[in-house]
Structure 1
Amino acid sequence: MELRQLRYFVTLAEELHFGRAAAREHIVQSALSQQVQRLERELGVRLLDRSTHRVDLTPAGTAFLIEARQILDHVERAGQAARNAAASAPTLRAGIIDAGYDTMPQILRQLQADHPDITIHQVEAGTPEQYRQLADGRLDIAIGHVSQTPAEVASKLIRLDPLGVLIPDDHRFADLDEVPVAALADELLLLGEESQTPELNQFVIELCRSVGFAPTIYEGTVESTRAAADLVLQHRCVHCVPASFRTSNRPGTTWRPLTAPTTHYPWSLLWHDANASPHIATVVNSARQLAGRLGWLEPAAPPTEPAPSEKAPPAASHSEEPI
């Protein structure tokens, strides 16, 4: 059964005249008659009563007409939906950690400036949740550290973010230009929420262990970057965060880079290897341009965890090479 046969039958049922129906469909009358006859043979029922001067629907034809119209209506709606989707603005679903981590927001602002036609939906989620949403298709692009990404997630290193410590303005570290990592042994250290940045927390812990001590971790929880800054201002702890962390500009606090060793936290753009979105390459390209302009991949000293350790994407469909 062909759609054109349904259309011809509906037109004939409306006109009840072969000549007028054929004219509406822009075909000859004999062709219309042949297609309707084929339809009847396929169905195994007679849809029309034909006489020299009259065409009428049979009971079977009346019942079939209702369903045929619905089928044609569905086909038209499906076509319109496809046309509407093709004409609508392209959409990108991008994950951000929270307002305190500014790398992805900066990338998205650059993307919007470069491509104002792309509609960007920002989804705030911790990195483990971003991995899950990449896997089930709810996100197109995410950001994080590749150490714990699933095998099917591809990546592109985009920023080596200097790691430092957020302290009150009157803290003993405030007079230093740089804080040795070993000096953190005498401090109560605030890490990020485990549900938000477990990789960053592990990175900091391993950094402390690399210089011979296990950090004393503040046991409370913080639900926002503002709450973390408040704890620092109250002298309850110091906060180990990258330079891009927005609360490093909080009045009353000071951020100092860590040294011995000088350390950079590697941020990567992440996407599912099977995601066919044409906007992934566009995001990566905008991010690379931004990184080049701001020197994100040009640290003053080699990072503790060098870029080659970043997890390579699966197969050859995506790679760490420029896109």
Structure 2
Amino acid sequence: MDLRRLTSFVAVAEEGHFGRAAARLFLSPAAVTAHVKQLERELGVTLLDRTPVRPTAAGERLLRHARVLIDTANAAAAELADAPSDDLPLRVGIMGHGSAELTPASLQAFRRARPESRLAMTTLDFTEGVSALLERRVDAAFVRPAPIDERIAVDVLTTEQRIVVVPSAWQVADAPGVRLRDVLELPYFSLPDRTPRSFTDYLYFASARGGEQPRRSRDHALTPQDVLINAALGRGAGSALLSFTRYYSWPGTTFVPVTDAPWEHSVLATRADDRRPDVLLLRNIATKLARELGPRLRLSPPSDASTQHGAVPTDAP
């Protein structure tokens, strides 16, 4: 019996609503619906009445067992999380170029400080800044922007100017810099429904839209490479942090600073309740390097730009 299907079933039964269950699990409503239907087919019974949404008699029976199974699986994962570091690697997720130069610097410093510990790297796409941590696929993640979830601890590493990534043939590409009003109507790449709201708000400059939805191209993007390839083909625009320009150079694309956009963060995210020594050490190393190297690498704002962005507190010990 697939634990993901059971988890979706329990969430729907407890929330009484497929949409709220999907939001709770950071999945799309379609994925949660599919999980429940697959579980019903597997067991050969109807588990949920749909109008209103509530467990059937068979669903009530399964619900008791499903909660026990999920609690047991979570307890096993928590016990393994406390295993010595020589048994389990520190799994680090990196979205795109992570926190720019601070990402490799932090990982190299961690290796020097803890040579007996193993590091395992995972590439994350735009949808995984929250789910990879909560599903325990990674233990730490260099992502942007800061996830908004009480289960996740956030250490701000960079605070950078915003840019747009556009096809070089577009008129906006000729400008040395643009203002928000010049880029809000660009057709931005679409993101899957499972993408965290914090990332879609960041990508589409939601704070400047007054509730209006962005124009979206028909093309989806899950990685920086997707953005660059499709921009080079003239299919749409993306947005990023200034350090993006140092890591990617594609013919047919142009990076244009958005001069009046609020500066945005990249962060090291971890589970808030994860107090393992390796996790705490990586957090301390990364935040120390951010303070020391950030100003020199243009990864923190100059003093006269300090009011352009909102601070996100760091709670690393």
> TM-score category by the smaller chain?
0.5 to 0.7
1:110 aligns to 2:114 (yes or no): no
What secondary structure, in the 3-state scheme, does the structure 2 residue paired with 1:148 have? coil
- In structure 2, do the counterparts of structure 1 residues 87 and 287 end up closer, same or farther at CA, with 3 Å as the change threshold? closer
2:305 to 263, 282, 301: 301
Residue identity opposite 2:180 in structure 1? V
The Cα shift of 1:293 comes to 1.0
Residues 142-178 of structure 1, C-alpha deviations (whole Å, 9 max, x = no match): 24434532x2322211111321111233432233221
- In structure 2, do the counterparts of structure 1 residues 253 and 280 end up closer, same or farther at CA, with 3 Å as the change threshold? same
Match of 1:269 in 2: 268
Matches within 5 A, 1:1-323: 88=86, 91-97=89-95, 100-103=96-99, 106-116=102-112, 117=115, 118-126=117-125, 129-135=128-134, 137-144=136-143, 145-149=145-149, 151-190=150-189, 195=194, 198-203=197-202, 204-210=204-210, 214-245=213-244, 248-259=248-259, 261-291=260-290, 292-295=292-295, 296-299=299-302, 301-302=305-306, 305-307=309-311, 310=312, 320-321=314-315, 323=317
Match of 1:47 in 2: none
- In structure 2, do the counterparts of structure 1 residues 146 and 253 end up closer, same or farther at CA, with 3 Å as the change threshold? closer
- In structure 2, do the counterparts of structure 1 residues 105 and 91 end up closer, same or farther at CA, with 3 Å as the change threshold? farther
The Cα shift of 1:278 comes to 0.5
Contact 1:264 1:303 in 2 (8 A): no
- In structure 2, do the counterparts of structure 1 residues 168 and 248 end up closer, same or farther at CA, with 3 Å as the change threshold? farther
- In structure 2, do the counterparts of structure 1 residues 182 and 251 end up closer, same or farther at CA, with 3 Å as the change threshold? same
Contact 1:127 1:143 in 2 (8 A): no
Aligned partners of 1:87, 1:216: CA distance in 2, in Å?
47
Over the aligned positions, Cα root-mean-square deviation in angstroms equals: 3.3
Contact 2:232 2:251 in 1 (8 A): no
- In structure 2, do the counterparts of structure 1 residues 202 and 290 end up closer, same or farther at CA, with 3 Å as the change threshold? same
What secondary structure, in the 3-state scheme, does the structure 2 residue paired with 1:173 have? helix
Contact 2:232 2:250 in 1 (8 A): no
Residues 50-108 of structure 1, C-alpha deviations (whole Å, 9 max, x = no match): xxxxxxxxxxxxxxxxxxxxxxxxxxxxxxxxxxx8694873111222xx333278424
- In structure 2, do the counterparts of structure 1 residues 89 and 147 end up closer, same or farther at CA, with 3 Å as the change threshold? closer
The Cα shift of 1:114 comes to 4.8
Match of 1:17 in 2: none
Aligned partners of 1:153, 1:88: CA distance in 2, in Å?
25
Residues 96-154 of structure 1, C-alpha deviations (whole Å, 9 max, x = no match): 22xx33327842443224524132111233466453443354432124434532x2322
| Paired positions, count | 224
Q: Which moved more, 1:137-146 or 1:267-276?
A: 137-146
Identity of aligned residues (%): 18
Aligned partners of 2:151, 2:139: CA distance in 1, in Å?
13
Residue identity opposite 1:102 in structure 2? G
User: Is there any run of 5+ residues in structure 2 with no aligned partner, and where?
Assistant: 1-82
Contact 1:188 1:237 in 2 (8 A): yes
TM-score normalised to structure 2 length: 0.59
- In structure 2, do the counterparts of structure 1 residues 181 and 288 end up closer, same or farther at CA, with 3 Å as the change threshold? same
Residues 240-290 of structure 1, C-alpha deviations (whole Å, 9 max, x = no match): 22223367422332211112x232222222222221311223212332243
- In structure 2, do the counterparts of structure 1 residues 233 and 133 end up closer, same or farther at CA, with 3 Å as the change threshold? closer
Contact 1:208 1:215 in 2 (8 A): no
Aligned partners of 1:104, 1:194: CA distance in 2, in Å?
27
- The structure with the larger Rg is 1
The Cα shift of 1:208 comes to 3.6
TM-score normalised to structure 1 length: 0.58
Contact 1:165 1:240 in 2 (8 A): yes
User: Is there any run of 5+ residues in structure 1 with no aligned partner, and where?
Assistant: 1-84, 313-319
Contact 2:141 2:269 in 1 (8 A): yes
Contact 1:262 1:301 in 2 (8 A): no
Contact 1:96 1:105 in 2 (8 A): no
Contact 2:98 2:266 in 1 (8 A): no
